[in-house]
Amino acid sequence: MAEGGNRGDGGQGGAVSLSLRIPDVPTVVAMNELTLNNGVTLPALGLGVFQSSPEDTRTAVAAALQAGYRHIDTAAAYGNEREVGQAIAASGLDRSEVFVETKVWISDYGYEQTLHGFDKSATKLGLEQIDLLILHQALPSDFEKTLAAYRALEKLLSDGKVRAIGVSNFMVEHLERLLAATDVVPAVNQIEVHPYFAQREVQDFGRQHGILTQAWSPIGGITFYREGEHTSTLQDPVIVAIAQAHAKSPAQVMLRWGLQQGRSVIPKSTKANRIAENIDVFDFELTGEELAAIDALDTGRRGGPEPEAITLGTFGMPIPEA
């Protein structure tokens, strides 16, 4: 997964002509980068396209690039890699200006299968090289297949077909097994992180081993589009009060919280105004007390699926060739 919530996104807004020439990125955005453990840099804030339809994906990516985003996160399982590639190609930006990240789904795990999974994603994206390729989930019921998939990522990295490799939704035990059996430390672990579920143990383990935490659902979108015990983070009185103090939105406060704590954040929206709002977070700073107040909201309750529930029988699905 990689979303930050639609916040009521419907079918309105977000449409941007794909023929627009993208202006230069504001300096403050361009400078806000994170360095991965292999020296590759990526913009700290990117656009996620989880559950975006193909058409919405094209217009959302176009709107994001127009607003100054230079980092797009997609996945084979999202079914919208082709539209991400089309929007980037139509933007007029040089390929080197946009950091593209995608994920291999569990159905394509295994050494040869994962190598072919790269080929499928690269073809759909229209790219010869992918900036960051990660495994979408651990597969606890067949971890040997997970390890074989990661070894394929290592091969793609050594061949120069990807610039960095990583994982997503890996817990500490998964990371420990991976590190013990492979050669390249993942550059990124993309996990659910928002004020109501921070996964500090996983973040701390990653920090100790040079693995960047990348937050999907960084504004807690999963807490209000998915049924559960949570209420919306956007209406949390602590977050709302901090937002009012800075004349910012609750979403902007949560993104700033993630950035100031050193995470990569990939909020999802399909509305042009929300997309522009989400990147407008580099002109204010939260105090230590405000960061601590948001930290204290952690409930320890996961919004996404339990890692042990990920099996081929339950979540496996074929990834089309084209």
pLDDT of res. 29: 34
Least reliable range by pLDDT among 14-18, 121-125, 249-253:
14-18
pLDDT of res. 224: 63
Distances (CA, A) of 138 to 308, 311, 315: 9, 9, 12
pLDDT of res. 271: 95
For the chain, how far is it from start to end, CA to CA, in angstroms?
21
- Tell me which residue has tokens 């990117």: 46
Q: Which residues are catalytic?
A: 78
pTM of the model: 0.89
Least reliable range by pLDDT among 34-43, 122-131, 183-192, 222-231:
222-231
CA gyration radius, the chain: 18
**For the chain, which residues make up each domain, given as ranges?**
41-315
Is a pLDDT exceeding 50 seen at residue 26?
no
Is a pLDDT exceeding 90 seen at residue 36?
yes
- Contacts of residue 227, defined as CB under 8 A and 6 or more positions apart, other chains included, come to none
pLDDT of res. 232: 87
Which option is the CATH number for 41-315: 1.10.3720.10, 3.40.50.300, 3.20.20.100, 3.40.50.720?
Answer: 3.20.20.100
Phi, psi of 130 (to 5 degrees): -105, 135
Distance (Å, rounded) from C-alpha 316 to C-alpha 314? Answer: 6
DSSP codes, 143-197: HHHHHHHHHHHHHHHHTTSEEEEEEES--HHHHHHHHHH-SSPPSEEEEE-BTTB
pLDDT of res. 225: 54
Least reliable range by pLDDT among 53-57, 167-171, 198-202:
53-57
- H/E element holding 41? strand 41-43
The full 3-state SS of 212-232, as one line of letters, equals EEEEECCCCCHHHHCCCCCCC
DSSP codes, 267-316: -B---HHHHHHHH--SS----HHHHHHHHTT-----SS--GGG--HHHH-
pLDDT of res. 229: 53
Distance (Å, rounded) from C-alpha 129 to C-alpha 42? Answer: 15
- Tell me which residue has tokens 């990834």: 319
Strand pairing class (264-265; 99-104): unpaired
